[in-house]
Structure 1
Amino acid sequence: MISRVAVVPHPPLLVPELVGGAVDETAAVRAACLAAARELAEHDPDWTAVAVDPTGPRTVENVAGSFRGYGVDVPVSLSRRPSSVEVGLPLPALVAGWLREHAGARSVRVHLVPPDLPTADCVAFGARLAASASPGRALLVLGDGSHRHGDAAVGRPDDRAGPFDEAVRAALAGADAAALTALDPALADELGARGRAAWQVLAGVPGAWRCARSELLVPFGVGYHVAVWEA
């Protein structure tokens, strides 16, 4: 049974070495993510994680990797004693490893799902993850919101980005699984919100949830959601 959840984004800007002179501009997102990860590690040192990547479906665990492909050779690992090194480890897995190390967790097992996974399949996968977990386990959910907020947007600005990410924020703040399930995959794709499938996996994890805290940050035109759920 999963009894604690942390929802975080997975941009490279979380890693100070990768942002050069923009460390201060990215500090708020980094601090929020690290706080959520540390709460998760205090609850359970061995995390299950779910994230979205085109290489999914697959599971990554007990390996080391590097952010070299993102500009600086910052090594990370998914456990304290990784058995191998994987070149080209997907970004969500790299960030999960970086958060694990900085939060003091022992390990993280990352389940990668494809970005186009249908809602029903996401929810079913969340239920399977929960059913296979022993009591008191922790879940890390990694996913970014829309990258089309305002003039600073990475993608072309889109007026729908604000309402979309506000709906995600409200769903996370209310621990509202039904609202996460109701997110439109087509709209999320148009807005570049790659976290949609991961959030809908969370929607399938059963429990009488309450949100301990949540936050939406939008630096550089991208929506980043951070939340902590408790059973």
Structure 2
Amino acid sequence: MIAAAVVPHPPVLVPRIAQGFAPDLDGLRAACGAAIDQLYAAEPDELLVVGAGPEQSTDIAATGDFHEYGLDLAVDGRWEPAGKTPMTLPFLIGAWLLRDRPGVPVRRAVMVDENGGLDAGSAGAAGRVAMLVLGDGSASRTLQAPGHLDERAEPYDASVARALATADTEALAALDPELSRQLHVAGLPAWRALAAAADASGVEYDAELLYEDAPYGVGYFVATWLAR
């Protein structure tokens, strides 16, 4: 793996879903765009789009839509092969974020479950592979958050931010799955997949945290890891 970008996947990243609240996340959208710019600047041969779902699979449909979120908007991830497993939210947002991006020679989707593992084939055993890793932090930062207020949420998110800011794969791998479930964390499977792929690559990374905040009581992070 030569590069990775970590971004969140809230539906409200799409301005037409956020509607009047769209300007609240302009900074987050800009950070996501900057992170993806760095992925493309690394000139990968292959881009893996990694997100959580109910199973481990690379048989992900290349097309999906936001009808469930009240918007008549279809997206095409343009990944190969185009499978049959419906896109979960991370892949819908991944396809939306990549909608105007030029094609990478190969773009693939990888769904990971709570085990968060990537086999050698999924992680890209050879060549210049980059990863777009989609996942949200805790959803329990405020009383109005989807998971309501939990005092453990802020320190949990702080630990994730530190790990992403320093490419600390051990810290990501050590995140407690049970605590993550209690805090309604959506990103753990994808973060653990990132940690596994980075460890398997055997290279060191320069990391940068581009965004860390909890609008609407949900922890969002944007980070880049670039091979030295």
Name the TM tier (shorter chain): 0.7 to 0.9
Match of 2:221 among 222, 225, 231: 225
Give the conservation status (yes or no) of the 8 Å contact 1:61–1:108. Answer: no
Q: Confirm whether residue 155 of structure 1 aligns to residue 147 of structure 2.
A: yes
* 1:52-105 alpha-carbon deviations (Å, 9 max, x no partner): 112x2212457222112211112211118x897979532111111111113434
Partner residue in 1 for 2:156:
164
Give the conservation status (yes or no) of the 8 Å contact 1:147–1:153. Answer: yes
Distance in 2 between the 1:129 and 1:5 partners? Answer: 15
Per-residue deviation at 1:165? 0.3
Distance in 1 between the 2:141 and 2:110 partners? Answer: 28
Alpha-carbon distance change, 165 to 128 in structure 1, aligned in 2, over 3 angstroms: farther
Per-residue deviation at 1:212? 3.3
Greater than 4 Å deviation, 4+ residue runs:
82-88
Give the conservation status (yes or no) of the 8 Å contact 2:61–2:84. Answer: no
Distance in 1 between the 2:174 and 2:183 partners? Answer: 16
Alpha-carbon distance change, 191 to 72 in structure 1, aligned in 2, over 3 angstroms: same
Q: Confirm whether residue 94 of structure 1 aligns to residue 110 of structure 2.
A: no
**TM-score (normalizing by structure 1):** 0.86
Aligned residues: 221
Partner residue in 1 for 2:53:
53
Amino acid at match of 1:141: V
Per-residue deviation at 1:31? 1.4
- Which ranges in structure 2 are unaligned for 5 or more consecutive residues? none
- Which ranges in structure 1 are unaligned for 5 or more consecutive residues? none
Give the conservation status (yes or no) of the 8 Å contact 1:18–1:72. Answer: yes
Q: Confirm whether residue 211 of structure 1 aligns to residue 210 of structure 2.
A: no
Partner residue in 2 for 1:197:
189
**TM-score (normalizing by structure 2):** 0.87
Distance in 2 between the 1:88 and 1:183 partners? Answer: 28
For the aligned residues, what is the CA RMSD? 2.4
